[in-house]
Structure 1
Amino acid sequence: MDKQIKPTEVIDFHDFVKTILEDSKFYLGIPELASITDVPQNKLRYWNQKGYIQACGERKKNQFRFDAVFQIYTINFFQNEGFTLSVAAKKATYYSQTFKEIKKGLHSRLKQIKKTPESTIIDLGLFDPDPSKNLSLRIEGKQVHFELN
């Protein structure tokens, strides 16, 4: 039976999120990527052959970092918008780099994440302009607010 979360209980899954944000050795194969992104396996193999997505890992054979999911979604998005594959791949590379920078920024600033039934609080550490204060991001439903404590 699943354990029910009491309203006063706080779950801290900071380490888990930090592991996801860092460049881990979590790899996906072509079948998993196809399932996640709804892009056919033969298309993914073609993109890999052309260098639009890069295999990695110890064997470097059809193993991809989790970041490839973003790259694939983005290529597919731009192709659906009417761009050629090569242009879509260039645009996807640009946005994938931006995505990696966002991940890097979050990874370096993330101190703690607390989840309650009412909200999620993301502790981003000391507020640079005033190191006596702490910067947090509070998410309650569709409302998102920064807080200085």
Structure 2
Amino acid sequence: MIGKKLSLKADVIVGIGDLSKMTGVSTRQLRYWEEKGYIQAVPSKKNTTRKYKFEMSYKVQAIKRYLDQGYTLAKSVEQAEELRKKFEIWKKFIMDKVEKVEIVDAENDYGIIDLGDLEGDQNKRVYGVVDENGCHFEVRRQPDMDK
């Protein structure tokens, strides 16, 4: 077991009471959502406390957020699933394109994200900038490598 990485997504399991406390959704409501197939517990023996993968807390929080905004339960589940898919796309992009993150001002959480060469032009690089002006992109010319 030494050296094994723990994954919040795959390895951390929480009971229904903990999930309820983490999300602000009652255990009764969680059981109803499970009965409807909107959330899934980890398979277990009969007559044991329901357990959930930690990642289910994200889905429950998203469903609750949409319910609080006035969506129906079915529409909230649909919106939560769409949000999950969008996050997966975002994660793929970030994992593929972010080359380096430089902290410019740790106190204010300002920094520069290197997104690599501008497509089709290796003389220009794209950066995501977070500074006092908010978040924006910059395209910067690469210094001449010939000199």
The equivalences for 1:22-61 within 5 A come to 25=10, 27-29=12-14, 30-55=16-41
Secondary structure of the structure 1 residue equivalent to 2:115:
strand
Query: Mind listing any 5+ residue stretches in structure 1 that lack a counterpart?
Result: 1-22
Which residue number corresponds to residue 73 of structure 1?
61
Instruction: Provide the TM-score with structure 2 as the length reference.
Output: 0.64
What is the number of residues matched between the two proteins? Answer: 125
Change (3 A) 1:42 1:91: same
Letter in 2 for 1:81: Q
Which residue number corresponds to residue 52 of structure 2?
63
Secondary structure of the structure 1 residue equivalent to 2:70:
coil
| CA shift for structure 1 position 96 | 1.8
| CA shift for structure 1 position 36 | 3.7
Give percent identity, aligned residues only: 26
Task: Work out the CA distance in 2 between the residues paired with 1:142 and 1:64.
Answer: 39
Q: Provide the alpha-carbon RMSD of the alignment.
A: 3.1
| CA shift for structure 1 position 107 | 1.6
Q: After superposition, what is the alpha-carbon deviation per residue over 1:11-66, rounded to whole angstroms, capped at 9, x for unaligned?
A: xxxxxxxxxxxx9645352455434432234433432343213456x98x733253
- Higher RCO by CA contacts (8 Å cutoff, separation 6 or greater): 1
Secondary structure of the structure 2 residue equivalent to 1:114:
strand
Task: Check the 8 A contact 2:9/2:53 in 1, yes or no.
Answer: no
Query: Mind listing any 5+ residue stretches in structure 2 that lack a counterpart?
Result: 1-7, 45-49, 141-147
Change (3 A) 1:143 1:71: same
Larger radius of gyration: 2
The answer on 1:137 being equivalent to 2:128 is yes
Task: Check the 8 A contact 2:99/2:116 in 1, yes or no.
Answer: yes
The equivalences for 1:6-21 within 5 A come to none
Change (3 A) 1:62 1:107: farther
The answer on 1:102 being equivalent to 2:90 is yes
Task: Check the 8 A contact 2:34/2:41 in 1, yes or no.
Answer: yes
Task: Work out the CA distance in 2 between the residues paired with 1:134 and 1:31.
Answer: 49
Task: Work out the CA distance in 2 between the residues paired with 1:78 and 1:95.
Answer: 11
